[in-house]
Amino acid sequence: MRIAAGTAAATDLFWRESLGLITPSKEVDFSVVIQSIREFNRTVPFVPYEIHTASGERYEVPQPDFISISPKGSFVVIIDAKERPHHLNALLIERASLLNGQKRRKSR
């Protein structure tokens, strides 16, 4: 059974794993969202996008320099316009979407 990233079930699973109540599960599929974020970053020319979390927060990524993804894709750090870092657990990221209804361009 797969648990979708950004859902209440994923959040519950994250906290139970963090507290040591259960062993980490490989069934949580946050890799799809992380993969789409990586694809957005590699698009040439770059198109600004935003990341939506399960709590309803949105973080704008105006350039690839404003975001960093951990090697395993478990965490994302976004730097906002005021140079403040926002550390996001990948389990809590619901989706990434283009800003202002822009159309996605193919990567080269």
The domain tally of the chain equals 1
Q: 100 pLDDT band (50/70/90 cuts)?
A: confident
Could you report the per-residue pLDDT of 38-80, keeping only the tens digit for each?
Answer: 999 999 999 999 999 999 999 999 999 999 999 999 999 999 9
Could you report the per-residue pLDDT of 72-82, keeping only the tens digit for each?
Answer: 999 999 999 99
Could you report the per-residue pLDDT of 14-27, keeping only the tens digit for each?
Answer: 656 666 555 555 44
Confirm whether 85 is domain-assigned: yes
CATH number at residue 88: 2.30.30.100
The phi-psi region of residue 6 (left if phi > 0; otherwise alpha if psi is between -120 and 50; otherwise beta) is: left
Tokens 């799809």, residue located:
32
Q: Which domain holds residue 67?
A: 31-101
**For residue 21, what are the contacts with CB-CB under 8 A and spacing of at least 6?**
none
Average pLDDT value for residue range 9-13: 62
Report the candidate in 103, 77, 108, 81 with the shortest Cα–Cα distance to residue 90.
77
